[in-house]
Amino acid sequence: MHDLVVLVSGSGTLLQALIDDAQHPGSPYRVVAVGSDRAGITGLDRAQRAGIETFVVAPGEHPDRGAWDRALAAAITGHSPDLVVSAGFMRILGPAVLAAHRVINTHPALLPSFPGAHAVRDALNHGVRVTGTTCHWVDAGVDTGPIIAQRAVTVRPADTEDSLHERIKVEERQMLVEVVRSLTASSRP
C-alpha cells in the first residue's frame, strides 16, 4: 500500500476523486494526509469528512518563502508519503519540498502550452480549438516537469472560461486517478 499526501488550495474536487478511488477494494494507495496553504477551504473539509488528517502551512506565518518551503516539507515528511500529489495547490513548491519528495501535479492545459495560473483563459484568448489537461512531475520550474499523461478537450465555439474549465476538470480527475493508480501499482513503497 502506497501512502499519498495531497496538497490543495480550493474546493478539492481532484482530492475527492482520489479519496473515492482509494476506497475501492484493491486500491494500491491511500490518502494519509491533506495539506493546504490556507485554512477554511472545502478541500480540507472533504478530507476531514473522510477521516483523513489535515494540516495547513500558511505562507503568511513564515518570514520568507524559504522558511515556508521548509515548513511545508517538514509537514509533508511527517506523514512519510510515497508520493505527493499537488491537486489544485496554487503555490510553487520550493527546493526543500522537491528534494524530499516525489511530487506530481495536474494542469488544465496541454503542456508545454499555457503554463501558469490562467491556462484556460490563455487557451481561449489564443483561439485554440483543442486544449486539455496534463499530469506531470513537479520540478523547479512553473509547469515544466516531465509529462506523465495528457488528455485532450475540444474547445466549443460557445465556451466560456468556466464551461471549458468544467469539462477539463472531468478529464483531469479521471486522468489523475489513472496516473496515481499506475504509479503506485508499478512501484514498491
pLDDT single digits (tens) 129-152: 999 999 999 999 999 999 999 999
Tens-digit pLDDT profile for residues 30-74:
999 999 999 999 999 999 999 999 999 999 999 999 999 999 999
Which listed residue (24, 62, 101, 107) is catalytic?
Answer: 107
Q: Active site includes 118?
A: no
Tens-digit pLDDT profile for residues 31-42:
999 999 999 999
What distance, in Å, lies between the first and last C-alpha atoms of the chain? 7
CATH match of 2-185 with 3.40.50.170? yes
Q: Where are the domains of the chain?
A: 2-185
pTM for this model (two decimals): 0.94
Q: Residues near 176 by Cβ (< 8 Å), separated by ≥ 6?
A: 14, 17, 18, 85, 87, 106, 135
CA-based angle 109:110:113, to the nearest 5?
A: 85
Residue pair 43/34 in contact (Cβ under 8 Å)? The answer is yes
